[in-house]
Amino acid sequence: MSAGADPGPIGVLDLQGGVQEHLDHLRRIGVAARPVKRATELVGLAGLIIPGGESTCLARLLHIFDLDTAIRTAHGQGLPLWGTCAGAILLAHENVGETPCLDLIDIAVSRNAFGSQLDSFNCEVAVPAVAATPIPLTFIRAPKIVRAGAGVRVLLSLEDYIAAAEDDQVLVTVFHPELTPSLAFHRYFARKCGLSVNAADVDPDWTPQSWMRGGAAP
């Protein structure tokens, strides 16, 4: 990218999961964003979010639409990526007991490690690298990151697993920041993409239905 060039929007993979919620959070921090359904729509992005959903289904759809190859190519050309929950599974080098999908960050994940939907939970924890104050987190049938390889920085460890990690180009979180009022992780990823953001860590006007008011998608 040449000096002074438009850095482009952040894309949100629009195959399944909390697409509109991510777009809404990006809008709240003043970042241009757009849904991505086709490989050609990766062109010109500053970064790409791969949201939660059902990882097996998402992996199949990525292959059907040739997005798996396109995302690997874009990553090789410098595109920053963020996978939340199922997105973290798709990006992992190792998926315990299963075949990995994109294999773009050296972590091992254990899919559905917390059990059923009934084992979903909320908590609030400090993530000093991301925000100065504790961040609310929502876990929904979350995976666990059980290993981080060389070059991977652990941002958050909880009990016997890693909940957030990154390397220079990829961010992974096993929880859903888009389902809380916190904007901290979206601000963190936007900065990882080279974008300037000035929004506060928390939007007091956010509600779980905020994305339904319109304006979340371009």
Phi, psi dihedral angles at 142 (to 5 degrees)? -75, 150
Going from the C-alpha of 61 to that of each of 20, 37, 58, 177, 211, the distances in angstroms are 19, 10, 5, 23, 24
- DSSP labels for 118-166? GG-EEEEE--TTT-SS-EEEEESS--EEEEE-TTPEEEEEETTEEEEEE
Give the residue numbers marked as catalytic.
85, 176, 178
What span, in angstroms and rounded, lies between the C-alpha atoms of 60 and 138? Answer: 26
Tokens of 125: 């924890």
What span, in angstroms and rounded, lies between the C-alpha atoms of 113 and 34? Answer: 31
